[in-house]
Amino acid sequence: MTSHDRLAHALRELEATLINVGLWEASRPQPSAFESQQPFCVDTMSMPQWLRYVFIARLQALVDARATLPATCAVAPAMEVWLKDEPASRRDPVVRELATVDRIVTQA
Protein backbone atom coordinates (compact mmCIF):
# COMPACT_ATOMS: atom_id res chain seq x y z
CA MET A 1 0.00 0.00 0.00
CA THR A 2 1.45 3.37 -1.01
CA SER A 3 1.51 6.46 1.17
CA HIS A 4 -1.19 7.92 -1.07
CA ASP A 5 -3.39 4.86 -0.46
CA ARG A 6 -2.80 5.05 3.29
CA LEU A 7 -3.57 8.76 3.28
CA ALA A 8 -6.78 8.26 1.27
CA HIS A 9 -7.91 5.70 3.84
CA ALA A 10 -6.97 7.98 6.75
CA LEU A 11 -8.87 10.89 5.21
CA ARG A 12 -12.00 8.71 4.90
CA GLU A 13 -11.61 7.69 8.54
CA LEU A 14 -11.18 11.32 9.58
CA GLU A 15 -14.30 12.32 7.67
CA ALA A 16 -16.33 9.52 9.27
CA THR A 17 -15.08 10.53 12.72
CA LEU A 18 -15.93 14.19 12.16
CA ILE A 19 -19.43 13.16 11.07
CA ASN A 20 -19.83 10.85 14.08
CA VAL A 21 -18.91 13.56 16.60
CA GLY A 22 -20.93 16.27 14.85
CA LEU A 23 -18.02 18.32 13.52
CA TRP A 24 -18.47 17.76 9.78
CA GLU A 25 -19.21 21.38 8.92
CA ALA A 26 -22.02 21.52 6.38
CA SER A 27 -21.93 25.20 5.51
CA ARG A 28 -19.37 26.08 2.86
CA PRO A 29 -17.51 29.30 3.68
CA GLN A 30 -17.84 32.31 1.42
CA PRO A 31 -15.23 32.39 -1.38
CA SER A 32 -13.46 35.29 0.32
CA ALA A 33 -12.86 33.11 3.40
CA PHE A 34 -10.38 31.05 1.39
CA GLU A 35 -8.20 34.13 0.87
CA SER A 36 -7.19 34.22 4.53
CA GLN A 37 -3.48 34.55 5.22
CA GLN A 38 -3.84 33.27 8.80
CA PRO A 39 -2.94 29.73 9.86
CA PHE A 40 -5.99 27.46 9.66
CA CYS A 41 -7.95 30.47 8.27
CA VAL A 42 -8.75 31.33 11.90
CA ASP A 43 -10.00 34.75 10.92
CA THR A 44 -12.51 33.51 8.35
CA MET A 45 -13.49 29.90 9.18
CA SER A 46 -14.22 27.63 12.08
CA MET A 47 -11.73 24.80 12.58
CA PRO A 48 -14.23 22.20 11.29
CA GLN A 49 -14.83 24.31 8.16
CA TRP A 50 -11.09 24.59 7.57
CA LEU A 51 -10.64 20.85 8.05
CA ARG A 52 -13.34 19.97 5.55
CA TYR A 53 -12.96 22.65 2.90
CA VAL A 54 -9.22 23.31 3.01
CA PHE A 55 -7.21 20.59 4.75
CA ILE A 56 -9.06 17.45 3.68
CA ALA A 57 -9.87 18.87 0.23
CA ARG A 58 -6.24 19.77 -0.49
CA LEU A 59 -4.85 16.49 0.76
CA GLN A 60 -7.45 14.56 -1.23
CA ALA A 61 -6.47 16.51 -4.35
CA LEU A 62 -2.83 15.52 -3.77
CA VAL A 63 -3.87 11.89 -3.30
CA ASP A 64 -5.97 11.93 -6.46
CA ALA A 65 -3.09 13.43 -8.47
CA ARG A 66 -0.52 11.17 -6.79
CA ALA A 67 1.36 14.41 -6.17
CA THR A 68 4.13 15.04 -3.69
CA LEU A 69 2.80 15.35 -0.15
CA PRO A 70 3.85 18.19 2.17
CA ALA A 71 7.10 17.65 4.03
CA THR A 72 5.44 18.07 7.42
CA CYS A 73 1.97 18.06 8.85
CA ALA A 74 0.96 18.85 12.43
CA VAL A 75 -2.75 19.60 12.58
CA ALA A 76 -3.66 17.29 15.48
CA PRO A 77 -2.17 19.59 18.16
CA ALA A 78 -4.13 22.58 16.84
CA MET A 79 -7.37 20.60 16.84
CA GLU A 80 -6.66 19.36 20.34
CA VAL A 81 -6.39 22.97 21.52
CA TRP A 82 -9.55 23.94 19.61
CA LEU A 83 -11.44 21.06 21.27
CA LYS A 84 -9.92 21.52 24.72
CA ASP A 85 -13.29 22.17 26.39
CA GLU A 86 -15.04 19.25 24.68
CA PRO A 87 -15.53 15.90 26.38
CA ALA A 88 -12.83 13.33 25.67
CA SER A 89 -15.40 11.18 23.88
CA ARG A 90 -15.72 13.90 21.27
CA ARG A 91 -12.17 15.26 21.29
CA ASP A 92 -10.02 12.13 21.40
CA PRO A 93 -11.31 10.33 18.28
CA VAL A 94 -10.81 13.45 16.15
CA VAL A 95 -7.32 14.12 17.49
CA ARG A 96 -6.39 10.45 17.03
CA GLU A 97 -7.51 10.43 13.37
CA LEU A 98 -5.74 13.72 12.69
CA ALA A 99 -2.56 12.38 14.30
CA THR A 100 -2.74 9.45 11.89
CA VAL A 101 -3.02 11.82 8.93
CA ASP A 102 -0.15 13.92 10.30
CA ARG A 103 2.03 10.83 10.65
CA ILE A 104 1.27 9.48 7.17
CA VAL A 105 2.01 12.82 5.51
CA THR A 106 5.19 13.42 7.48
CA GLN A 107 6.53 9.91 6.88
CA ALA A 108 5.70 9.83 3.16
Residue 36 lies in a domain: no
Q: Are 60 and 52 in contact (CB under 8 A)?
A: no
pTM for this one?
Answer: 0.94
In a domain, 100, yes or no: yes
> Domain containing 50 — which CATH number?
1.20.1440.40
pLDDT tens digit sequence for 51-95: 999 999 999 999 999 999 999 999 999 999 999 999 999 999 999
Number of structural domains in the chain: 1
Print the domain residue range for 96.
3-28+41-107
In angstroms, rounded to a whole number, what is the distance separating the alpha carbons of residues 16 and 22?
Answer: 10
